C-alpha cells in the first residue's frame, strides 16, 4: 500500500480530473513493483502494524455493542465503526494482506513475472498481519485495558464469526475479498486523501453491515476469543483457512482480473 500511495504522490496530475482505467493500472503496477522488491523486515513490520490497526475495527464494533446492546438494529449500527481499522491502514500506509490480492497480482498479470516475489510478499505480510492481530488480542483480553463488558463483547464477536457453516464463511469471504480489493483499486484512483478516506469508509461500512468475512479484521476478534477461552485454536484455524481462501478468490478473480482485463482488452 505504501508504494502505491508514493506512486500517486509522484503523479504529474495536479488537478482533480478523473483518472482513466489505464492510468489507474499504471499507478497500481508502478507502486506494486516497489512493494515486491521491499526488504522482508520492512514488509514484516508494516504487516504487523496493519494487523494491530485492524484491531481498531473489532474494538470499535465491540464498543458500540457493549454500550448499546446487541440487538439486530445495533449490530447494523455498529457497522459505522467497522471502517476504522481500514482507514488507519490506508492513512498509515501499512501492508494489509487482502489489499495485496490486487496490487502485485495485477503486476504479475501485466508483466508476466514477479510470481515468486508476490508469493513471498503474501506470506510475509499475512504472517505479520496475524501476529499484529494476536498482539492486539493479548492487549485487549489479557490486560486490564478494557472494561469487562467491552472485553466480553469482543470475545463474543469472535465466537459468532467462527460458528457459521463452512460454505457461508467461504462465500462471505469471497464477497469480503472483492470489496477490499475494490477498495484498494478505488483508493489508487483517488488523488486526494479525503477521497481515499471516503471510499474506504463507504466500502468498509458495507463490509461490516453485510457481515462479510475478512481474514485479518476477523482475526482480531477470533484471537480475542481464544485468549478469553471461548474458542479453540482448531476452530479459529478452520475459520482462518476458509476466510483467507475466500478473500483471495474474491480479490484476485473479481477485482484484479476484471480491472486488468478491461484495460488490456482494448490494447
**Splitting the chain (267 residues) into consecutive groups of 10 residues, what average pLDDT does each group show?**
51 58 82 86 96 97 94 91 95 88 82 88 96 98 96 96 95 95 89 91 96 96 97 97 96 81 73
What's the confidence (pLDDT) of residue 252? 87
Q: What is the pTM of this model?
A: 0.88
Structural domains of the chain sorted by starting position, each given as residue range(s) with its CATH number in brackets:
19-262 (1.20.1080.10)
Q: Indicate the Cα dihedral angle 35, 37, 42, 43, nearest 10°.
A: 50
97: helix, strand or coil: helix
Structural contact between residues 240 and 133, judged by C-beta atoms closer than 8 angstroms:
no
* Alpha helices, H only, the chain: 2-9, 21-36, 40-68, 72-77, 84-92, 103-111, 115-141, 148-162, 166-189, 193-209, 217-227, 233-249, 257-264
What's the confidence (pLDDT) of residue 99? 84
Angle at CA 206, nearest 5°, toward 7 and 156? 110
What whole-number distance in Å separates Cα of residue 217 and Cα of residue 83? 10
Amino acid at each position: 500500500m505504501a508504494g502505491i500511495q508514493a506512486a500517486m504522490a509522484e503523479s504529474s496530475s495536479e488537478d482533480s480530473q478523473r483518472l482513466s482505467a489505464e492510468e489507474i493500472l499504471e499507478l497500481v503496477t508502478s507502486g506494486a513493483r516497489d512493494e515486491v522488491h521491499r526488504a522482508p523486515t520492512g514488509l514484516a513490520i508494516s504487516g504487523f502494524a496493519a494487523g494491530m490497526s485492524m484491531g481498531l475495527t473489532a474494538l470499535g464494533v465491540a464498543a458500540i455493542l457493549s454500550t448499546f446492546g446487541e440487538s439486530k438494529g445495533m449490530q447494523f449500527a455498529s457497522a459505522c465503526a467497522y471502517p476504522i481499522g481500514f482507514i488507519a491502514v490506508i492513512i498509515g500506509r501499512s501492508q494489509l494482506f487482502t489489499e495485496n490480492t490486487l496490487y502485485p497480482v495485477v503486476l504479475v498479470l501485466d508483466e508476466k513475472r514477479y510470481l515468486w516475489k508476490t508469493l513471498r510478499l503474501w506470506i510475509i505480510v499475512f504472517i505479520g498481519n496475524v501476529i499484529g492481530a494476536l498482539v492486539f488480542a493479548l492487549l485487549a483480553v489479557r490486560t486490564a485495558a478494557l472494561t469487562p463488558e467491552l472485553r466480553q463483547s469482543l470475545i463474543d464477536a469472535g465466537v459468532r464469526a467462527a460458528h457459521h457453516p463452512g460454505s457461508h464463511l467461504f462465500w462471505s469471504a469471497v464477497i469480503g475479498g472483492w470489496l477490499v480489493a475494490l477498495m484498494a483499486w478505488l483508493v489508487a484512483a483517488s488523488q486526494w486523501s479525503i477521497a481515499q478516506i471516503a471510499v474506504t469508509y463507504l466500502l468498509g461500512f458495507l463490509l461490516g453491515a453485510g457481515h462479510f468475512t475478512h481474514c485479518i479484521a476477523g482475526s482480531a476478534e477470533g484471537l480475542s476469543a481464544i485468549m478469553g477461552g471461548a474458542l479453540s485454536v482448531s476452530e479459529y484455524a478452520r475459520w482462518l483457512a476458509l476466510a483467507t481462501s475466500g478473500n483471495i478468490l474474491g480479490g484476485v478473480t473479481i477485482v484484479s482480473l476484471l480491472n486488468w482485463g478491461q484495460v488490456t482488452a482494448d490494447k
